[in-house]
Amino acid sequence: MYIINSNLRFRGLTFGNNPRMIILHHAESSRCSIEDVHSWHLNKGWSGCGYHYFVRKNGSIYKGRPDNAIGAHCLSYNSVSIGICTEGRFNVETMGASQYNSLKELISYIKNKYNISKIYGHRELNSTDCPGKNFPLSKIKNESLGGSNSGKRKKISSAGYPGYLLKYNANRFDSNVKTIQRKLKQIGYSVGRCGADGYFGDGTLLAVRCFQRDCNLMIDGIIGKNTWKRIMRE
Ligand SMILES: [Zn+2]
């Protein structure tokens, strides 16, 4: 696979992206280059091309913003995802083989690089029709994830939320804290050297704050219903 360096000049990117999912988009334009996308996004007052990659109809793959830069492509998920945009308007067009194959190859590369097991279409996360009704979303998910996690995003229930706020309190054991610590560790956040011990100490506080920052939640270090649901969904 060859990724073309687009040499785009960005204005003031923010770094610290922590990719845990791939989000797919279309450009909603039948014919456009990454330079077009870059200038559209600059004109919106953004840092430049909001996506990390761009795949053209002929199968060429272009680099957008660096992987470790926070994206501008999917509200609430920009700091925990890699955004890939495809040239085309897939509400009216269908994707050809060259583009499909390159997209699949790119997904496989990113998936392995970051150990990602989740792929979403933009419309599954935000209220939009992107990447278009003809976009081969289920097909590419099935082929890229081998059938696992390929369905629609699971409906998240708040079941399991203990009904009270979990807060910093290093002196009290709480099995709900232990549940959250285990989950945080599983998704890549260190909860300190004691590990998942059921005590909400400094390590856990830092992990919760980092998680909240990465997910654009309010950074208060407290696990209420929203933070609980987001952690358990990951
Ligand atoms: Zn989109």
Please write the tens of the pLDDT for every residue from 174-208.
999 999 999 888 877 889 888 999 999 999 999 99
169-233 CATH, one of 1.10.8.190, 1.10.101.10, 3.50.50.60, 3.30.1490.20? 1.10.101.10
Provide the CATH topology of domain 3-145: Lysozyme-like (3.40.80)
When the pLDDT of each residue in the chain is averaged and rounded to a whole number, the result is 91
Comparing 3-145 with 169-233, is the CATH topology the same?
no
Q: Are 232 and 223 in contact (CB under 8 A)?
A: no
Ligand 1: centre distance to CA 49 (Å): 12
* DSSP H helical ranges for the chain: 34-43, 97-114, 137-145, 175-186, 202-214, 225-233
d(C-alpha 123, C-alpha 37), whole Å: 19
**Structural tokens at position 199:** 């005590």
Q: How far is the CA of 48 from the centre of ligand 1 (A)?
A: 15
At 62 the pLDDT is 98
Burial annotation 109-124 (CB, 10 A radius, 16+ → b, else e): ebbeebebebbbbbbe
Q: What is the distance in A from the centroid of ligand 1 to the CA of 14?
A: 20
Burial class (CB in 10 A: 0-12, 13-18, 19+), 12: exposed
Q: How far is the CA of 158 from the centre of ligand 1 (A)?
A: 27
Distance 89 CA to ligand 1 centre (A): 11
Cα 33 to middle of ligand 1, angstroms: 16
Q: Where are the domains of the chain?
A: 3-145, 169-233
Q: Per-residue confidence at 173, pLDDT binned at 50, 70, 90?
A: very high
The answer to whether 65 and 50 are in contact (CB under 8 A) is: yes
In angstroms, the first-to-last Cα distance of the chain is 29
Most confident of 51-55, 114-118, 156-160, 205-209: 51-55
Q: What is the 216 CA–ligand 1 centroid distance (Å)?
A: 18
Residue position matching structure tokens 């990659």: 53
